[in-house]
Structure 1
Amino acid sequence: MSIPIKKALEKVPGGMMLVPLGIGAVIHTLAPDAGKFFGSFTGAFFTGLAPLLAVFFVCLGATLEVKSTPYILKKGGVLLGSKILFAILIGVIAGRFLGEAPIDSGILAGLSTLALVAALNDTNGGLYISLMGQFGRKRDAGAYSILSLESGPFLTMVTLGIAGLSAFPWQALVGAILPLALGMLLGNLDKNMRSLLAPLVPAMVPFLGLALGLTINLNAVVEAGLLGIALGLFVVFVGGAVLLLADKLTGGDGVAGLAAATTAGNAALVPAIIATANPVYAPAADHATVLVAASVVVSAVLCPIVTSAWAKRVQKRARLQESDDNSREQEAPTPKHAGSTPELT
C-alpha cells in the first residue's frame, strides 16, 4: 500500500512547510504540555526549533560557494534595511497620532504604536529559510544570517526611540553567522561534504515547519479578534509589498521579499521587554502582546501561500520569456551574401 503524501503536500501552496506547521500549532493549542508529558526525544522536539535551524544553516552553508557571499550580504542588507525603514515610517506616523498609549475605545481598541512596530520588526526566520529552501533559492536563504540581526527588542527599542537600552552583544552577532560560515567552509573545502549535506536542505523543511508550529498557540488569534488578524494581514500584504519592491529594485524576483513578510514568534515577547525598560509603554504592553501573537499565526499561515503563488508566477514568466527567446532565434533572418546588391533608400 502506498500513500502519495509528498504529492499531496506539494499540491498545497507552501505545503511542505504549512501543513506540518498547522499540525504543530493544533497540537500545541490543544495539548500545550504534551512535550513535558512525553519527555525524551519527543519532548525535545517541542522546544527544538533553534537547534534544527542551526543544523539547517550548516547544511545550507555547504551548498553555497564563497563567490556568493557578496550576494548574501547584499540580499540580506536590502531586506533588513527595508524592514527597518518601513517599521520606522509606520512608527513615526502612528506615534504622531497615538503616542505611547493604546487606543482605548472603538473598533481599534488596544492598537498601539508598540504593537505595530514589534510586529513589523522581526522576521520569522524558520519560515523564511524553509520557503527559500523549498523554492530552490539557496543564496536567498543564506540572507537570513543578516536578517537575524533584527531578532529581539533591539530594533524595536531603536524605532521607538528608547535611549540607553539598545546594546546588541557582539556574541549574538557572531553566533547568528557561525553555523552558516561553518557549512560554507565545509562545502568549499570538500565537494564530497557538499554532496553529503546538500540533500538535507529540502528534507528538513517539514521538520522546521512542525517545530515552528509547536511554538504557536492558535488561541492567540481568537483572543485578538479581527484586529489581530488585520495586523497580520498588514504585515503580509503591505509589508510584503514594500519588501517585494525593494527585492526587485535590487535585481531580485520578489520571492525573498515576500518570504520575509512575517512576524517572528519571539516578537510576542518584545512588548513586555519594552514595557520593563520604559514604563511609559506599560499600558500598551498587554494588548500589544496579544496582537503580535496573532500576527505571528496569521503571517505564518498566509506568507507561504502568497510566496508560493508569486514564485509560480515568476517561474511561468521565466518559461514564457525563454520560449519567446527561442522563437526569435528561430525566426531570425538569414544574413545576405556579401556580394548581394544593397537596397536603395
Structure 2
Amino acid sequence: MQRIPGGLMLIPLILGAIFGTFAPGALGIGSFTTALFQDSALPLIALLIFATGTQVSLRTGGPILAHAGTLLVMKSLIPATLVVLLGLGVGLDGLLGISLLALLASMDNSNGGLWLAFSGQYGDERDRGAYVASAINDGPFLTLLFLGASGLGDIPFLALLGAIVPFLLGVLVGNIDAEWRRVVQPVPNIVIPFFAFSLGTGIDLGDIVTGGVTGLALGLVIAPFTGGLVYLGYRYILRRGTMSGLGFAAGTTAGNAIATPAVVAAADPRFEEYVGTATAQVAASALVTAIVAPLIAAYALKRKGALRQGGVTEEPEDPAGAAGAADAPASADDAVHGSAGGLADRPEQEQRA
C-alpha cells in the first residue's frame, strides 16, 4: 500500500466496494464484525480528526501563521467560494458528471503529508509550519460550512458544531498535555484502512468505474488550478520570489477527503444519491494530485533556478525576516500519502523575495 499514493486508503476502499457489490450481506452478520467493517466509518473519522487536532500547536510564530493563513485562504476558502458560486448557478448536479459535492470535497482541502514531504526537502521552517492549514482543512468541516452558509445544503448548526468539536478538543488536549501528541500519533495508520473499507462497502463498483474516469480529469484540473492560487499567494502576498513555485505542491486533494461525501450525506440526506460516485471521484483526484502537484512544483522551482539536487539554491536576504519556528506536526495525511518519508532536516536556506 505504501507504493501507491494514497494506497493506505484507496486499496481498502476498493476492497470494501468489492464486498459491497458482490457480497453485500457478508458483513451484516452482526456484533463486532458488522460494527468494525461496515458501520465504523463515522466514529473512526471522528477519532482521526481528534488526533489531527492534537498535533496543532498554539505557540506558532508570526511568519509561520502568515504562511499557514495564505495557504488556507488560497487553497481552501477561495476554491470553495468559487464552487459554491458555480453551484448556485448549476445546482447540486454540478457539471460534466461531477456533482457539487465532489467538487467541493476535492477542492477545499490539501494533502498535509505531501506538503510536509515537499516543503521538508525544498522549503524552510515557515513552509513546514504552514502544515497547520492542512490540519484545519483536512476534514469535512469546511465543506459542511460552505454548503450550509450558501443554502445549497440543509446543514443543521449542530451538525456543523459536531464536525468541529473533535478537532477543537484535540487542539485543547494537545496543548494542555503535549504527551498526547505522541500517544495519538499512530492513529492515522491504524484507523484509515478500517474506515476506508467501511466506506467502500457502501459503494458499488460501477460508481468506481464511472466516477474514477471523471475523477482523474478532476485531479488534473485541481492540481494546477488550486496550486496556482497558492503560487500567487506565495509570490504576491508572502513575496517569496523564486521560491513561489513551492505553492504548487499544495494543489492536492487530501486522502481523508474521500470520507467527506458520506459525512455530508449523514448531515443532509439530499446528498445521499451523489455519495457513491463522489467518493470515487474524490479518491481518483487524491491519487492524481498526489502525483501531479509535486511535479508541477518541482518544474516551477527549477524554471526559476531555485531547485538543485537535494535542496534549493541560496537566495538574497529578505528584509522581512523569518523570525520564529515551529516543528511541523505529523500529519494524518502523511499516512495517507504513503511516500512522505525523508523529512530529515537540511541546513536552513532562507528563501527571500
Aligned to 2:112: 132
How far apart, CA to CA, are the structure 1 residues paired with 2:8 and 2:148?
Answer: 31
5 Å-filtered alignment, 1:1-345, equals 9-37=1-29, 39-45=30-36, 46-67=38-59, 75-88=71-84, 90-91=86-87, 95=90, 116-123=99-106, 131-133=111-113, 136=116, 139-144=132-137, 148-151=141-144, 154=147, 158=151, 168-221=155-208, 231-251=214-234, 253-260=247-254, 264-266=260-262, 273=270, 289=273, 293-311=276-294, 320=309, 322=311, 324-325=313-314
CA contact (8 A) 1:72 1:143 kept: no
Measured after TM superposition, the shift of residue 151 of structure 1 is 3.0
- Give 1:216 shift: 2.1
Measure the CA separation in 1 of the matches of 2:107 and 2:203.
12
Tell me the CA shift for residue 60 of structure 1: 1.5
Conserved in 1, the CA contact under 8 Å of 2:69 and 2:133?
Answer: no
Deviation digits for residues 231-259 of structure 1 (CA, Å, limit 9, x no counterpart): 43443222443322223333473444321
Q: Shift of residue 51 of structure 1?
A: 0.7
Is the contact between residue 82 and residue 242 of structure 1 (CA under 8 Å) also seen in structure 2?
Answer: no
- Give the paired residue count: 277
- Once residues 213 and 307 of structure 1 are traced to their aligned partners in structure 2, the CA distance between those partners, rounded to angstroms, is 21
After superposition, the Cα gap between the structure-2 partners of 1:209 and 1:187, relative to the gap in structure 1 and judged at 3 Å, is same
Deviation at 1:43, TM superposition (A): 0.7
**Cα distance in 1 between the residues matched to 2:196 and 2:177:** 30
User: Structure 1 CA distance, aligned partners of 2:162 and 2:83?
Assistant: 25
TM-score, length basis structure 2: 0.61
The one-letter code sitting in structure 2 at the alignment partner of 1:218 is L
* Residues 108-147 of structure 1 deviation map (CA, whole Å, 9 limit, x = unaligned): xxx869964343233499xx68x53576575244223675
Q: TM-score normalized by structure 1?
A: 0.62
Instruction: Classify the secondary structure of the residue corresponding to 1:67.
Output: coil
Please give the alpha-carbon distance, in whole angstroms, between the structure 2 residues aligned to 1:236 and 1:133. Answer: 17
1:33–1:60 CA distance, 2 compared to 1 (3 A): same
Q: Which structure 1 residue ranges, 5 or more long, are not aligned?
A: 1-8, 103-110, 160-165, 275-284, 327-345
Higher Cα Rg, which structure: 1
Tell me the distance in 1 between the aligned counterparts of 2:116 and 2:189: 8
Deviation (angstroms), 1:17: 2.2
Counterpart Cα distance in 1 of 2:269 and 2:158: 24
Contact 2:17–2:201 under 8 Å retained in 1: yes
1:320 to partner: Cα distance: 3.1
Task: Tell me the distance in 1 between the aligned counterparts of 2:269 and 2:156.
Answer: 20
Query: Partner of 1:259: helix, strand, or coil?
Result: coil
Structure 1 residue 85, shift from structure 2 partner: 3.2
Moved beyond 6 Å, runs of 4+: 111-114, 267-272, 315-319
Indicate conservation of the 8 Å contact 1:24/1:212, yes or no. Answer: yes
In structure 2, the CA distance between the partners of 1:298 and 1:47, relative to structure 1 (3 Å rule), is: same
* Distance across 2 between alignment mates of 1:255 and 1:79: 11
Is the 2:220–2:288 contact (alpha carbons within 8 Å) kept by the matching residues of 1? no
**Deviation for aligned residue 1:300:** 0.9
Q: Considering only aligned residues, what root-mean-square deviation do their CA atoms show, in Å? A: 4.3
In structure 2, stretches of 5+ residues that fail to align are: 118-130, 235-245, 302-306, 316-353
Cα pair 2:54 2:174 within 8 Å, conserved: yes
Separation (CA, whole Å) in 2 of partners of 1:319 and 1:28: 48
CA deviation string 1:81-125 (max 9, x = no partner): 233333245447x75xxxx799xxxxxxxx869964343233499
